Each structure stands twice: as C-alpha cells, then as structure tokens.
Amino acid sequence: MSEQQTATATKTVVFDIHRQDTATSSPYVERFEVPYRPNMNVISALMEIRRNPVNAKGEKTTPINWDMNCLEEVCGACSMVINGRPRQSCTALVDQLTQPIKLEPMRTFPVVRDLVVDREFMFDSLKRIKAWVPIDGTYDLGEGPRMPERKRQWAYELSKCMTCGVCLEACPNVNDKTNFMGPALMSQVRLFNAHPTGSMNKDERLATVMGDGGITECGNSQNCVVACPKGIPLTTSIGAIGRATTIQMFKNFFGSDHQVD
C-alpha cells in the first residue's frame, strides 16, 4: 500500500448527527467517525454508519434513519440540514464541508425519527392547488393546443421542482404560526396555469392562493431562490402570481353583480 493510500485509509470524517428516537421524544446529538474515502458524499457516510452503527465513543448504537431514493438529485427525498444549510445530502460532498459535519432534520416539517420528516403538509398543499392537468382519459381529446416554444422553455425550468422541501425550510414565513404553503407551491400554480389545458382551472388555483396560506403570506425574503437545488426562479414565479392574483381580484370584483340599497 502506498503512503497516499495509507493516509486515506486512516483518515476519518466526523459527523454530529441530531437524533430523535420517536416523533415525541427529545432530540439529542450523537457523534460518529467514518473512514474517509475520496469523493464520498453524506449519503455514503450514512450508509457506512448503517453498516457499522458504532458511535465515536465506541458504543454500539442504532442505525441512523433518513430518506433517500434516486441519489441523483432528482427525487428530492434526501433533504436535510447540513452545516446549517438545507440541501440534498446526495450531492453534499464531504471534501467540500467543514468538520465536524452537522446533520439535522428539516424543522419546517414534523420529525418522524432522526433525519426523517413528514412532508404531508407540502403534498396536501399540492392537492389544494390542483397541481396536475385534469384529463381523466375517458375519451380522446386529441393533442391539444401547443405551447409556444418561448413559454415552454421557462415552463420546463419550473417543472424541475422535485418537492424536496428545501425552499420551505429556507423560508422564514413557513412556520407553525402561519399556513403559508411555501414558494414551491406558488411556482407550481404558475406552471399549471401556463399549460394550455391546465389553464382551464386557472381561476380555481388563483382563488386558492388568494386565500389562507396563499401569496399574501410571502414576506419576500428571497431565501427560497438561493436555497433551491434546481435553480428554479422561485421569486420570479412569486412575482408573477402576485400580479395574477391582483388581476383576478379585479375580475372577481367587476365581474360580480352589485345591488345598491
């Protein structure tokens, strides 16, 4: 074994991991030391701990619980807070992180166990805004109207959203004192309202985001656009939805019947 290989074999990476045994138990921090490998990411370190669940004190412990799926920053499942920053753990390279590497669950969502959180609030919000094109397939509608290429290009950027929850974690207005649905949801309203077929539910989506938990609860901190791992122009979408809801408000007002007593 060469000197470089020997040095790599003896080098360790230190992790301070916030743990929580159940949804209602008190959190605590447990330190782990993982053998270093070149180009390793946070997920590979967690997998090493799962293979050999022994903490830095040499005590046998339980494996870390966390979510993952694609390992290619596509599914959004492996979101967590790494060194104070919400991000995807599959693309968080150990060589680019300051040690000890601190891993925490996203606190915007209820903690289930360790680094696993319940993102039901976000998925329920997607249902509220009807984040789909409502075609049931009972009969052939044909190809439908085409989307202009220029609009298709920016719509594609919005469609990169993987509902990872990072923008909600970064947003100071998404907390237990508000019902704000979050930046990703505002962007999805813009995406589906721009679709030639999806736009037939445009008024309904706008009515939803004009109500409780909608666009008026955005504080314009712009943390979301910085945190988004896919580089989605979230603040642009929020601005567009703000304009659209203002127009919708006037349409609702002048389109209704008024009686003067």
Amino acid at 168: L
pLDDT at 70: 93
Amino acid at 75: C
pLDDT at 9: 53
**Cα(62)–Cα(52) distance, integer angstroms:** 9
**Cα(40)–Cα(162) distance, integer angstroms:** 23
Assigned fold of 3-117:
Ubiquitin-like (UB roll) (3.10.20)
Contacts of 64 (CB under 8 A, 6+ apart): 17, 19, 46, 49, 50, 53, 114, 115
pLDDT at 85: 97
pLDDT at 135: 74
Assigned fold of 120-255:
Fumarate Reductase Iron-sulfur Protein; Chain B, domain 2 (1.10.1060)
CB 33 within 8 A of CB 12: yes
Domains of the chain, by residue range, sit at 3-117, 120-255
120-255 matches 3-117 in CATH topology: no
- Per-residue pLDDT of 98-127, as tens digits, reads 999 999 999 999 999 999 999 999 999 999
- Per-residue pLDDT of 27-46, as tens digits, reads 999 999 999 999 999 999 99
Q: Which of 98, 41, 50 is nearest to 71 (CA)?
A: 41
pLDDT at 10: 67
Residues of the chain with pLDDT under 50: 1-7, 257-261
